[in-house]
A = this chain, B = another copy of it.
């Protein structure tokens, strides 16, 4: 599949002029040129354009983008690096928001703001960027493999919990609200008693399997929402407490 300049420009939301420009400076060459001299781009070029745009977003000069892309052909490490750079850009913006908040406060109160604090977050990123850009090697070594592999959510297929867990949950929620530690004896007893009652009702459950179930609740949208609706943080509290009990019981 080949794309004309127009098609590319619509896909990537750049102007045709930009495509011409990138061709002229050798940043992004068309994969072939038609008899009539039309530029035609393929998948590879699309990928490269994407990288270019990420770097451009971060205000890298085109010359440097070219150097970086020509020097490092590994798409994955480039992407990982770009992600880090986007992160630090976001942090910079967060810093700026803090500065704005400070300014708003001072202006509202009529207080004079600290002159230096007025410009917090403005100059710093450039230095960071350079530092990071030089550290590409380091980042690559550190993050490349880390960031790549994805996890398939290992959903332990558990049977449905009984409806009378309601009572148990209410007590757990109360404990959470009252600030009772997850490893407090009261909480542990609560869980043990609940497990006991589950077994009585025919649901064979151990501390470990209960912990697994709690973990499942974390992943399962329905159960998690149900618990969180009852009390914010309940699903996480339950999981941590159950996990703790299970490890102690081994």
* Chain A interfacial positions (CB closer than 8 Å to B): 11-14, 43, 46-47, 50, 53-54, 57, 75-76, 79-80, 82-84, 86-91, 93-94, 96-98, 100-105, 107-108, 112, 114-119, 122-124, 128, 146-151, 153, 155-156, 163-164, 167, 176-177, 179, 181-183, 189, 192-193, 196-197, 200, 207, 218-219, 221, 224-225, 228, 231-234, 236-237, 239-240, 247-249
Q: What's the minimum C-beta distance from A112 to chain B, rounded to whole angstroms?
A: 7
Looking across the interface, which residue of chain B has its beta carbon closest to that of A88?
B196
**Copy total for this chain:** 2
What chain B residues lie within 8 Å of A232 (beta carbons)?
176-177, 231-233
Chain A interface, >50% SS class: helix
Structural contact, A96 and B167, CB atoms closer than 8 A: no
Kindly name the residue among A103, A247, A248 whose own CB sees the greatest number of chain B CB atoms within 10 A: A103
Looking across the interface, which residue of chain B has its beta carbon closest to that of A179?
B228
Q: What's the minimum C-beta distance from A157 to chain B, rounded to whole angstroms?
A: 11
Choose one: B50, B82, B87, B156; the contact of A189 (CB below 8 Å). Answer: B87
A76 with B148, Cβ < 8 A, contacts A196-B88, A233-B231 known: no
- Please give me the 8 A-B residue pairs with the lowest Cβ-Cβ distance, nearest first: A233-B233, A13-B123, A236-B236, A236-B237, A12-B119, A87-B193, A108-B148, A83-B100
